[in-house]
Amino acid sequence: MEKHLICATSSILLAESLKVCLSASPELAQPIRIVHIGAKSDAACDGIYDILLVVLLNLDDIIQMRPLMERLLQRNSRLCTVAMIQDVHMSELLNRFPTRFDKVLTEFSDFATVKACVTHLCRTVGYAGTLRTRSSVGETTHPMRRNANYYFSARELDILRLVAHGFTTKEIAFSLGITVSTVANHRHSIYRKTDLNSVQQLAVFAVTNHYGMDH
């Protein structure tokens, strides 16, 4: 399932370069949304996203980005936020803001590094935003039994955690050191315990019940 990314910057030229850099990524939904960092209209925040990439070139950008970030976070409570800064000293200024970034890149002149970072995020960030988008347009999201008692084995909990982070069956098998068929067997065991019947429903279940949260 592709992740939805929105990029905010004050440089149109840099935004277009990033757009080209990330356009070939199979992990990202296309086209990538680009907004001005100082955008004040609610229209700039339309949509549901998984990752916010903010390019900060100077102090003014840091000041202007806060309102946009706050509106996006209100609409996307599980949004992963990434900042790209020109000067490492700007990270000290970022620490003074109440809204913290999940990751800060200090060497974004190398687009290969940026692409590698975003690709990694796509594989580790939960599917919350994408799943909400699908459910809002009527795609199947299985009704969950609230307050139900689920008895999962340790291995099933491992699989639920990785599913919530967006791992594929092959990636789960590699991460846990087991075979793909073993993953499938555990997945079907979870289906029986939860009345689910598809990978997408399992992803919704894992995200909405916070199995991706680290404890």
Domains of the chain with bracketed CATH: 5-133 (3.40.50.2300), 140-208 (1.10.10.10)
Lowest-pLDDT choice from 74-88, 131-145, 161-175, 181-195: 131-145
Q: Which residue has the higher pLDDT, 10 or 125?
A: 10
Provide the 3-class DSSP secondary structure of residue 22.
helix
Tokens of 51: 């990752």
What is the rounded CA–CA span in Å between residue 154 and residue 167?
Answer: 17
What is the rounded CA–CA span in Å between residue 144 and residue 125?
Answer: 22
Tens of pLDDT, residue by residue over 86-108, are: 776 777 777 766 666 777 777 65
Q: Which residue has the higher pLDDT, 132 or 159?
A: 159
Tens of pLDDT, residue by residue over 11-69, are: 878 778 888 888 877 778 888 888 888 777 667 677 778 888 888 888 788 888 888 88
In the block, tokens 């592709």 appear at 2
Give me the amino acid identity at 13: L
Tens of pLDDT, residue by residue over 54-84, are: 888 887 888 888 888 888 877 776 678 888 8
Q: Identify the CA nearest to 57 among candidates 37, 40, 78, 75.
A: 37
Residue 63 CB burial class (10 angstroms; 0-12, 13-18, ≥19): middle
